[in-house]
């Protein structure tokens, strides 16, 4: 037989079998010492990431609920502010109407008092004129009696007295 570069013999098969067994044992040892810890580390990492995602989702839901709560409170506050402003406007209008009514009543009382005072002054003036007329009439009567004159002189005295008093006094 000639020497060959590659010869399939029993030694080669035994070496190949031994090599396969060594690789398999090496794989088992590596699996026990390397692959399992890496798998456990990956599982822990995966659980941690899942927990963080769940926590983030919970935080996001809490934030959404909190936002809805604040928006509801803001809406209620705006509504309450509008009610307060509306109530203030209503009270201001009522106050304004009350003040205007009081002013009108006061003006009516002042006008009525002025009319009453004017009427009293007019009555007083008329009473003064009547007193003057009575005084003049008594003076004239005294003159007539004193002089005992005839009717023409008496009529001229009456006309003179009337001119002194004024014709407007007799007409009012």
- pLDDT value at 4 more than 70: no
Strand, helix or coil at 159?
helix
Give backbone dihedrals phi and psi of 2, rounded to 5 degrees, phi first: -90, 150
Give the whole-angstrom CA distance, residue 170 versus residue 172: 6
User: Mean pLDDT of all residues in the chain?
Assistant: 86
The DSSP annotation for 81-106 comes to HHHHHHHHHHHHHHHHHHHHHHHHHH
Confidence of residue 2 (pLDDT cuts 50, 70, 90): low
- pLDDT value at 150 more than 80: no
Q: Taking the domains of the chain in order of start, what are their residue ranges?
A: 30-171
DSSP-derived secondary structure letter, 118? H
Token pair of 112 as six digits: 């009525």
| Proportion of the chain above pLDDT 70, given as a percent | 87
Lowest mean pLDDT among 48-57, 73-82, 144-153: 144-153
- Using a cut of 0.85, tell me whether the model's pTM lies above it: no
- pLDDT value at 3 more than 80: no
Q: What is the pLDDT of residues 80-138, one digit of tens each?
A: 999 999 999 999 999 999 999 999 999 999 999 999 999 999 999 988 888 888 788 77
- Which has more pLDDT, 152 or 123? 123
- pLDDT value at 160 more than 70: yes
For residue 54, give Cα distances in angstroms to 4, 49, 60.
67, 9, 10
Strand, helix or coil at 5?
coil
């Amino acid at each position: 037989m000639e020497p060959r570069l590659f010869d399939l013999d029993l030694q080669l098969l035994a070496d190949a079998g031994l090599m396969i067994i060594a690789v398999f044992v090496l794989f088992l040892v590596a699996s026990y010492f390397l692959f399992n810890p890496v798998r456990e580390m990956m599982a822990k990492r995966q659980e941690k990431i899942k927990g963080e995602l769940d926590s983030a989702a919970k935080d996001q839901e809490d934030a959404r609920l909190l936002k809805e709560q604040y928006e509801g409170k803001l809406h209620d506050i705006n509504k309450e502010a509008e009610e307060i402003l509306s109530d203030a406007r209503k009270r201001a209008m009522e106050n304004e109407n009350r003040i205007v009514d009081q002013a009108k009543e006061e003006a009516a009382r002042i006008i009525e008092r002025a009319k009453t005072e004017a009427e009293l002054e007019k009555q007083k003036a008329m009473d003064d004129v009547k007193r003057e007329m009575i005084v003049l009439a008594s003076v004239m009567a005294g003159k007539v009696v004193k002089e005992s004159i005839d009717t023409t002189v008496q009529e001229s005295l009456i006309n003179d007295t009337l001119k002194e008093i004024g014709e407007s006094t007799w007409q009012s």
